[in-house]
Amino acid sequence: MTLSAIDWAIMLVYLVFVLGIGVVVKRHTRSSEDFFLAGRALPAWVCGLAFISANLGAQEVIGMAASGAKYGIATSHFYWVGAIPAMVFVGVFMMPFYYGSRARSVPEYLRLRFDEKTRALNAVSFAVMTVFSSGVSMYAMAKLLQTLKLLDSPLAALGLPAAWAFHLSILASACIVLAYTFLGGLTSAIYNEVLQFFLIVAGFLPLVLLGLADVGGWSGLKARLPDGFAHSWQGMGSASTNPMGVEWFGMVMGLGFVLSFGYWCTDFLVVQRAMAAHSISAARRTPLIAALPKMVFPFLVILPGLLAVALPAPSAPPTLQAGDSASARVQSGIVPPKLDESGRPVVDKNGKVQLDYDLAIPQMLLHYLPPGLLGLGLTALLASFMSGMAGNVTAFNTVWTYDIYQSYIRPQASDEHYLWMGRMATVFGIGLSVLAAYVATRFNNIMDMLQLVFAFVNAPVFATFLLGMFWKRATGHGAFTGLVAGTLAAALHHGLTLPSGAEAGVKGGWLGMLESYPSEMAQNFWTAILAWSVCFAVTIVVSLITAPRAESELVGLVYSLTQRPAEDDLPWFERPAPLGGIVLALTLMLNVVFW
Amino acid sequence: MGLDIRLPIGLMFGVLGAMLVAYGLVADPAIYQRSLGLNVNLGWGLALLAFGGAMFHFGRRAGKAPTT
């Protein structure tokens, strides 16, 4: 694909603004609190938009469209079940403790509430995870640019081989993110996330509108979709009657409760955005404000995937010479088949052609957008990659500096020293991410395995926070043992089960074979449910046999011992509870409409 | 907090909108075959220009108001 001058010019304008914001914000970054917590001075709407943007990385934009093309509207469960309720919960119930305790990070809250070892466990696993996720984000972006051959013509103009596209994308994205987070820290990252939020809307909305006009509106789209793609809940009664291969209970408990609350309520990457707000009520409003656009995001990121499969395939669908039967064919639309290294379509063991769903969004951009808007769409895509990375980097440098460096390596240093350390952490955090991106290219399995380990570590976490915030009897020993037990339970469950059709190994079953799940998603959800339950039970049992902390030490950290924040002076639309109610009612409506 | 984020957002979308409008006025209409024959550059450029202008306006107004 070759871009026109106007497309490059649009990208350039975006870059100038991204770096310009970093330079301007740097002048106001004087203390470590400015750098790591944006001086706790931002208005709620800014934090709210950054709250969803930080999560709107590559995996989200590319992945949700891919999932839309693969599973249909049911993908909206990741929003309407798997995000909104948790966002309301963290705003209404949990934010008073995060913000009110003056903890500077989520691991620091764990130290205040429980003890040093629980914090250390959370801080170290989180720091490792963020570095690898930003590496994966960088890798995905470089891979995509390579597949689209976006950089081939500029590289050719410079006399460089096309194979350099990969290195150039990694280097460029690393340098840009490094520049603006190094200069302005969290403020700069948050500002750029807000910019990116609007850019994503500006870049993708014309795509969705053109696509819908082309297929004849919503009813035209429904008529062209494969069976079951136009409903989110119909067919969820049993795993065999919906494209995702998971039944409603596993979906609601695994995705809607354990995984969603574990991410939105405890992941410092998002919670940090709310902690940057100027007041406790602004911090509580942050996730609620974020929930409003989050609710309609499926129309922006899932719909292009649906449109991509609904469109007529450009040429005859890829078929195979031998063993080609009706069941082997998948409705592909404009989604191209996955190609192996020799350029032949990849086929699964039933002879079905595997589609490269990750290309659904890029294909749609190319299909509908003329030069000009195409540049805007691609810039939006690049912006999403970079803000996903920057989100990880800012969360990493904070946890590294406050929870690891200041706590275990060099306590009692001056504030300037920690500010300097934060900037250094930004440099080596990004350096490690680049390393991780290259590890991913060489050893694909290592990345899969690491992500699996992270999933085991993350699955039980919400049980610890729930008990910590709402049960004053929970103890540090209880929390720590519960976390370890939950992680082990997750690993054990994964080792003993396998999704149907998969081979034992990284997909599960490496210890034996106890149970087979209809899909990988069902296996993941049940792994999470089990890990959460084990952590919950073990934390309670161990807490009851260990000594409780004095109640006076837990004021401001536990629900029953903390005064409710006063909100009588706020108009109703700035109070968390009514806002949360409205958000939930609207979400319920969307679920009913797309039933 | 120093910088009001609405100012750079307003400026950036203003510039991007103006670029799209200008390009939409001069570019060969044949490129709009992809976009169902519509001059989307012109239309969407105007929309972005309006959005950028509004953002910039509110950012400036807030900056001028006496700080409490």
CATH number at residue A579: 1.20.1730.10
Condensed to tens digits (0 to 9), the pLDDT of residues A417-467 reads 888 888 888 898 899 989 888 887 777 667 677 777 777 888 888 889 888
Residue A112 makes CB contacts below 8 A (sequence gap 6+) with A101, A103, A557
User: Per the domain annotation, does B24 fall within a domain?
Assistant: yes
User: Per the domain annotation, does A340 fall within a domain?
Assistant: no
Same domain, A241 and A258: yes
Report the pLDDT value the prediction gives residue A351, as an integer from 0 to 100. Answer: 65
Contact B20 A373 (CB under 8 A): yes
Condensed to tens digits (0 to 9), the pLDDT of residues A343-372 reads 677 776 666 777 778 888 888 888 888 888
pLDDT band at A320 (very low <50, low <70, confident <90, very high): very low
Contacts of B45 in chain A (CB under 8 A): 372
Condensed to tens digits (0 to 9), the pLDDT of residues B18-60 reads 999 888 888 777 778 777 878 888 889 899 999 999 988 888 8
With a cut of 70, say whether residue A4 has pLDDT above it: yes
User: Per the domain annotation, does B37 fall within a domain?
Assistant: yes
User: Per the domain annotation, does A317 fall within a domain?
Assistant: no
User: Per the domain annotation, does A12 fall within a domain?
Assistant: yes
Taking residues A15-44, report their average pLDDT: 83
Structure tokens at A25: 């914000």
Quote the CA–CA distance of A486 and A531 in Å, as a whole number.
4
User: Per the domain annotation, does B43 fall within a domain?
Assistant: yes
Strand partners, A339: A345
Same domain, A419 and A480: no
For B24, which of A10, A194, A372 is closest by C-beta distance?
Answer: A372
Contacts of A195 in chain B (CB under 8 A): 5, 8-9, 12
pLDDT band at A198 (very low <50, low <70, confident <90, very high): very high
Greater confidence (A503 vs A319) lies with: A503
Assign A115 to helix, strand or coil: coil
User: Per the domain annotation, does A324 fall within a domain?
Assistant: no
Same domain, A387 and A525: no
With a cut of 60, say whether residue B4 has pLDDT above it: yes
Contacts of A371 in chain B (CB under 8 A): 23, 27, 31
What is the interface pTM, i.e. ipTM, of the complex? 0.91
Q: What is the DSSP string of A524-575?
A: HHHHHHHHHHHHHHHHHHHHHHSPPPPGGGGTTTSGGGSPPPP-TTS-GGGS
B47 to chain A nearest CA, in Å? 9
Q: Mutation target for B interface from A1, A6, A53: give the one with most B CBs within 10 A.
A: A6
Same domain, A291 and A413: yes
A410–B contact, CB cutoff 8 A: no
With a cut of 90, say whether residue B13 has pLDDT above it: yes
With a cut of 50, say whether residue A566 has pLDDT above it: yes
Amino acid present at B61 = R
Same domain, A533 and A576: no
User: Per the domain annotation, does A345 fall within a domain?
Assistant: no
Report the pLDDT value the prediction gives residue A16, as an integer from 0 to 100. Answer: 92
Quote the CA–CA distance of A429 and A396 in Å, as a whole number.
7
Four-point Cα dihedral B35, B40, B41, B47, nearest 10: -150
3-state secondary structure A457-516: HHCCHHHHHHHHHHCCCCCHHHHHHHHHHHHHHHHHHHHHEEECCCCCECCECCCCCCEE
User: Per the domain annotation, does B28 fall within a domain?
Assistant: yes
Structure tokens at A391: 């989100």
Residue of A nearest to B13 (CA): A199
Q: How many residues does chain B have?
A: 68
User: Per the domain annotation, does A140 fall within a domain?
Assistant: yes
Greater confidence (A318 vs A427) lies with: A427
Contact B40 A198 (CB under 8 A): no
Same domain, A88 and A175: yes
Q: Mutation target for B interface from A373, A378, A379: give the one with most B CBs within 10 A.
A: A373
Residue of A nearest to B33 (CA): A370
Number of folded domains in chain B? 1
pLDDT band at A324 (very low <50, low <70, confident <90, very high): very low
Quote the CA–CA distance of A436 and A455 in Å, as a whole number.
18
Nearest to A279 by CA among A43, A114, A551, A50: A43
For B31, which of A194, A195, A370 is closest by C-beta distance?
Answer: A370
Nearest to A304 by CA among A589, A29, A67, A113: A67
User: Per the domain annotation, does A501 fall within a domain?
Assistant: yes
Contact B5 A195 (CB under 8 A): yes
Contacts of B9 in chain A (CB under 8 A): 194-195, 198
User: Which helix (H) or strand (E) element contains residue A282?
Assistant: helix A280-301
Same domain, A588 and A541: no
B44 to chain A nearest CA, in Å? 8
Same domain, A147 and A271: yes
pLDDT band at A260 (very low <50, low <70, confident <90, very high): confident
Residue of A nearest to B31 (CA): A370
Same domain, A365 and A269: yes
Greater confidence (A200 vs A443) lies with: A200
Number of folded domains in chain A? 2
Residue A450 CB coordination number (10 Å): 19
With a cut of 60, say whether residue A327 has pLDDT above it: no
Contacts of B31 in chain A (CB under 8 A): 370-372
Contacts of A373 in chain B (CB under 8 A): 20, 35, 40-41, 44
User: Per the domain annotation, does B68 fall within a domain?
Assistant: no
Same domain, A287 and A406: yes
User: Per the domain annotation, does B67 fall within a domain?
Assistant: no
Contacts of B32 in chain A (CB under 8 A): 370
Calculate the average pLDDT of chain A.
Answer: 81
Lowest mean pLDDT among A147-161, A290-304, A465-479: A147-161
Same domain, A378 and A485: no
What residue numbers bound the domain in which A498 lies? 451-562
Chain B: which residues have CB within 8 Å of chain A? 1-3, 5, 8-9, 11-13, 15-16, 19-20, 23-24, 27, 31-32, 34-36, 38, 40-41, 44-45, 48, 51
What residue numbers bound the domain in which B39 lies? 6-61
Contacts of A28 in chain B (CB under 8 A): 1-3
User: Per the domain annotation, does A341 fall within a domain?
Assistant: no
